[in-house]
Amino acid sequence: MTIHREGIATLSLALAILLAINATIAYVFPEQTLVRQLAIIGSIIIYLIILQFFRSPRRKTVQHPKQIIAPADGKVVVIEETVETEYFNGPRRQVSIFMSPINVHINRNPLSGVVSFFKYHPGKYLVAWHPKSSTENERTTIVVRHDSGVEVMFRQIAGALARRICWYVKEGDVVNQGEEFGFIKFGSRVDIFLPLDAKILVNLGDKPVSGKTVIAELA
Protein backbone atom coordinates (compact mmCIF):
# COMPACT_ATOMS: atom_id res chain seq x y z
CA MET A 1 0.00 0.00 0.00
CA THR A 2 1.30 3.43 -0.97
CA ILE A 3 0.98 6.31 1.51
CA HIS A 4 0.08 9.76 0.22
CA ARG A 5 2.68 12.47 0.76
CA GLU A 6 0.19 14.55 2.78
CA GLY A 7 0.22 11.84 5.45
CA ILE A 8 3.95 11.72 6.18
CA ALA A 9 4.00 14.51 8.78
CA THR A 10 0.75 13.40 10.42
CA LEU A 11 1.83 9.77 10.63
CA SER A 12 5.24 10.72 12.05
CA LEU A 13 3.62 12.90 14.71
CA ALA A 14 1.05 10.22 15.58
CA LEU A 15 3.81 7.61 15.93
CA ALA A 16 5.84 9.88 18.24
CA ILE A 17 2.81 10.62 20.43
CA LEU A 18 1.76 6.97 20.68
CA LEU A 19 5.31 5.87 21.54
CA ALA A 20 5.49 8.56 24.24
CA ILE A 21 2.15 7.45 25.68
CA ASN A 22 3.22 3.82 25.80
CA ALA A 23 6.57 4.73 27.35
CA THR A 24 4.78 6.75 30.04
CA ILE A 25 2.37 3.90 30.79
CA ALA A 26 5.26 1.44 31.02
CA TYR A 27 7.02 3.78 33.47
CA VAL A 28 3.93 4.45 35.63
CA PHE A 29 2.69 0.85 35.63
CA PRO A 30 5.87 -1.26 35.45
CA GLU A 31 4.21 -4.34 36.89
CA GLN A 32 0.81 -4.02 35.21
CA THR A 33 1.38 -6.22 32.16
CA LEU A 34 -2.29 -6.16 31.12
CA VAL A 35 -2.42 -2.35 31.16
CA ARG A 36 0.71 -2.10 29.01
CA GLN A 37 -0.61 -4.69 26.57
CA LEU A 38 -3.95 -2.93 26.23
CA ALA A 39 -2.15 0.35 25.61
CA ILE A 40 -0.03 -1.23 22.88
CA ILE A 41 -3.06 -2.85 21.20
CA GLY A 42 -5.03 0.41 21.37
CA SER A 43 -2.10 2.34 19.91
CA ILE A 44 -1.73 -0.08 17.01
CA ILE A 45 -5.45 0.19 16.21
CA ILE A 46 -5.36 4.00 16.29
CA TYR A 47 -2.27 4.11 14.10
CA LEU A 48 -3.77 1.73 11.54
CA ILE A 49 -6.91 3.87 11.34
CA ILE A 50 -4.81 6.96 10.61
CA LEU A 51 -2.63 4.99 8.20
CA GLN A 52 -5.56 3.75 6.08
CA PHE A 53 -6.89 7.30 5.78
CA PHE A 54 -3.74 8.35 3.91
CA ARG A 55 -3.64 5.36 1.56
CA SER A 56 -3.01 6.26 -2.07
CA PRO A 57 -4.32 3.57 -4.44
CA ARG A 58 -3.10 3.58 -8.04
CA ARG A 59 -5.87 4.33 -10.53
CA LYS A 60 -5.90 4.62 -14.29
CA THR A 61 -8.50 6.98 -15.72
CA VAL A 62 -9.99 6.28 -19.14
CA GLN A 63 -10.13 9.85 -20.43
CA HIS A 64 -13.14 11.01 -22.44
CA PRO A 65 -13.77 14.63 -23.52
CA LYS A 66 -17.51 14.56 -22.80
CA GLN A 67 -17.46 12.61 -19.56
CA ILE A 68 -17.17 14.08 -16.07
CA ILE A 69 -15.27 11.74 -13.77
CA ALA A 70 -15.87 11.61 -10.01
CA PRO A 71 -13.39 13.93 -8.26
CA ALA A 72 -13.65 12.04 -4.97
CA ASP A 73 -14.46 8.71 -3.38
CA GLY A 74 -17.53 8.74 -1.17
CA LYS A 75 -21.31 8.91 -1.32
CA VAL A 76 -23.52 11.07 -3.54
CA VAL A 77 -25.57 13.19 -1.12
CA VAL A 78 -26.87 15.99 -3.38
CA ILE A 79 -28.20 16.08 -6.95
CA GLU A 80 -30.13 19.26 -7.62
CA GLU A 81 -30.49 22.38 -9.72
CA THR A 82 -29.11 25.40 -7.89
CA VAL A 83 -28.03 29.00 -8.49
CA GLU A 84 -24.24 29.31 -8.31
CA THR A 85 -23.31 32.83 -7.18
CA GLU A 86 -19.52 32.91 -6.92
CA TYR A 87 -18.50 32.53 -10.56
CA PHE A 88 -21.33 31.60 -12.94
CA ASN A 89 -24.02 33.75 -11.28
CA GLY A 90 -26.69 31.54 -12.74
CA PRO A 91 -28.37 28.15 -12.58
CA ARG A 92 -26.24 25.02 -12.61
CA ARG A 93 -26.72 21.36 -11.84
CA GLN A 94 -24.97 20.38 -8.60
CA VAL A 95 -23.67 16.96 -7.61
CA SER A 96 -22.11 16.61 -4.14
CA ILE A 97 -19.97 13.73 -2.87
CA PHE A 98 -19.48 13.27 0.88
CA MET A 99 -16.20 11.68 1.99
CA SER A 100 -16.22 9.92 5.36
CA PRO A 101 -12.99 9.36 7.33
CA ILE A 102 -12.73 5.83 5.90
CA ASN A 103 -12.71 6.98 2.27
CA VAL A 104 -9.62 7.75 0.20
CA HIS A 105 -9.34 11.55 0.36
CA ILE A 106 -7.36 12.23 -2.80
CA ASN A 107 -9.18 14.61 -5.16
CA ARG A 108 -8.85 14.13 -8.94
CA ASN A 109 -9.64 16.38 -11.90
CA PRO A 110 -13.10 15.54 -13.26
CA LEU A 111 -12.19 16.79 -16.74
CA SER A 112 -9.22 18.00 -18.77
CA GLY A 113 -8.70 21.67 -19.61
CA VAL A 114 -7.29 24.92 -18.25
CA VAL A 115 -7.91 26.27 -14.76
CA SER A 116 -9.79 29.50 -15.51
CA PHE A 117 -10.56 30.41 -11.88
CA PHE A 118 -9.24 29.49 -8.44
CA LYS A 119 -9.95 30.88 -4.99
CA TYR A 120 -9.34 29.70 -1.44
CA HIS A 121 -11.88 30.64 1.24
CA PRO A 122 -11.10 30.34 4.95
CA GLY A 123 -14.23 29.56 6.92
CA LYS A 124 -16.14 27.46 9.43
CA TYR A 125 -16.05 23.71 10.02
CA LEU A 126 -19.71 22.73 9.90
CA VAL A 127 -20.44 19.06 9.29
CA ALA A 128 -19.89 18.39 5.58
CA TRP A 129 -23.54 17.51 4.89
CA HIS A 130 -24.82 20.78 6.41
CA PRO A 131 -26.66 22.87 3.73
CA LYS A 132 -24.49 25.92 4.51
CA SER A 133 -21.16 24.07 4.43
CA SER A 134 -20.87 24.79 0.68
CA THR A 135 -20.81 28.55 1.32
CA GLU A 136 -19.56 28.97 4.91
CA ASN A 137 -16.92 26.27 5.48
CA GLU A 138 -13.24 26.42 4.61
CA ARG A 139 -13.16 25.59 0.90
CA THR A 140 -11.56 26.07 -2.47
CA THR A 141 -13.34 26.92 -5.71
CA ILE A 142 -11.82 25.67 -8.96
CA VAL A 143 -13.17 26.19 -12.48
CA VAL A 144 -11.76 24.26 -15.43
CA ARG A 145 -12.45 25.33 -19.01
CA HIS A 146 -12.62 22.42 -21.43
CA ASP A 147 -11.29 22.71 -25.01
CA SER A 148 -14.91 22.94 -26.15
CA GLY A 149 -15.36 26.10 -24.07
CA VAL A 150 -17.56 24.43 -21.43
CA GLU A 151 -16.62 25.32 -17.86
CA VAL A 152 -17.11 23.06 -14.85
CA MET A 153 -16.72 24.19 -11.24
CA PHE A 154 -15.78 21.99 -8.31
CA ARG A 155 -15.29 22.84 -4.65
CA GLN A 156 -13.29 21.14 -1.94
CA ILE A 157 -15.17 21.69 1.32
CA ALA A 158 -13.72 20.98 4.76
CA GLY A 159 -15.91 19.09 7.22
CA ALA A 160 -16.20 19.13 11.01
CA LEU A 161 -13.05 17.03 11.41
CA ALA A 162 -11.05 18.49 8.53
CA ARG A 163 -8.69 21.33 9.32
CA ARG A 164 -6.60 21.43 6.19
CA ILE A 165 -7.40 21.53 2.51
CA CYS A 166 -4.51 20.89 0.14
CA TRP A 167 -4.54 21.89 -3.52
CA TYR A 168 -2.01 21.56 -6.32
CA VAL A 169 -3.44 23.85 -9.03
CA LYS A 170 -3.59 27.56 -9.83
CA GLU A 171 -5.15 29.73 -12.50
CA GLY A 172 -3.68 29.06 -15.93
CA ASP A 173 -2.60 25.49 -15.21
CA VAL A 174 -3.35 22.82 -17.78
CA VAL A 175 -4.91 19.83 -16.01
CA ASN A 176 -5.63 16.30 -17.14
CA GLN A 177 -8.68 14.25 -16.29
CA GLY A 178 -8.00 11.82 -13.45
CA GLU A 179 -4.84 13.50 -12.15
CA GLU A 180 -4.66 14.72 -8.56
CA PHE A 181 -5.65 18.31 -7.90
CA GLY A 182 -5.83 18.14 -4.12
CA PHE A 183 -6.36 16.34 -0.82
CA ILE A 184 -8.62 16.99 2.18
CA LYS A 185 -7.70 15.63 5.59
CA PHE A 186 -10.47 13.64 7.29
CA GLY A 187 -14.25 14.04 6.73
CA SER A 188 -15.14 16.41 3.91
CA ARG A 189 -17.06 16.96 0.67
CA VAL A 190 -16.65 17.92 -2.98
CA ASP A 191 -19.36 19.79 -4.93
CA ILE A 192 -19.43 19.78 -8.75
CA PHE A 193 -21.39 22.41 -10.69
CA LEU A 194 -22.35 21.35 -14.22
CA PRO A 195 -24.25 22.93 -17.13
CA LEU A 196 -28.00 22.37 -16.97
CA ASP A 197 -27.93 20.22 -20.10
CA ALA A 198 -25.38 17.79 -18.62
CA LYS A 199 -26.72 14.25 -18.28
CA ILE A 200 -26.33 13.03 -14.69
CA LEU A 201 -25.34 9.36 -14.54
CA VAL A 202 -25.37 8.78 -10.76
CA ASN A 203 -28.14 8.63 -8.18
CA LEU A 204 -28.42 9.70 -4.57
CA GLY A 205 -26.69 7.16 -2.37
CA ASP A 206 -24.31 5.94 -5.09
CA LYS A 207 -20.68 5.46 -4.06
CA PRO A 208 -18.44 6.76 -6.85
CA VAL A 209 -14.72 6.08 -7.11
CA SER A 210 -12.49 9.04 -7.93
CA GLY A 211 -10.79 8.87 -11.28
CA LYS A 212 -13.02 6.02 -12.45
CA THR A 213 -16.77 6.54 -11.99
CA VAL A 214 -18.46 8.64 -14.68
CA ILE A 215 -20.89 10.94 -12.90
CA ALA A 216 -22.13 12.95 -15.89
CA GLU A 217 -21.86 13.53 -19.63
CA LEU A 218 -21.68 16.93 -21.30
CA ALA A 219 -24.08 17.70 -24.13
DSSP 28-79: H-TT-HHHHHHHHHHHHHHHHHHHHHTB---------TTEEE-SSSSEEEEE
Between the alpha carbon of residue 11 and those of residues 17, 18, 49, 57, 90, the distances in Å are 10, 10, 11, 17, 43
Residues belonging to the active site: 188
| CA–CA distance, 86 with 51 (Å, rounded to integer) | 36
Nearest one of 177, 101, 77, 88 to 141, comparing CA atoms: 88
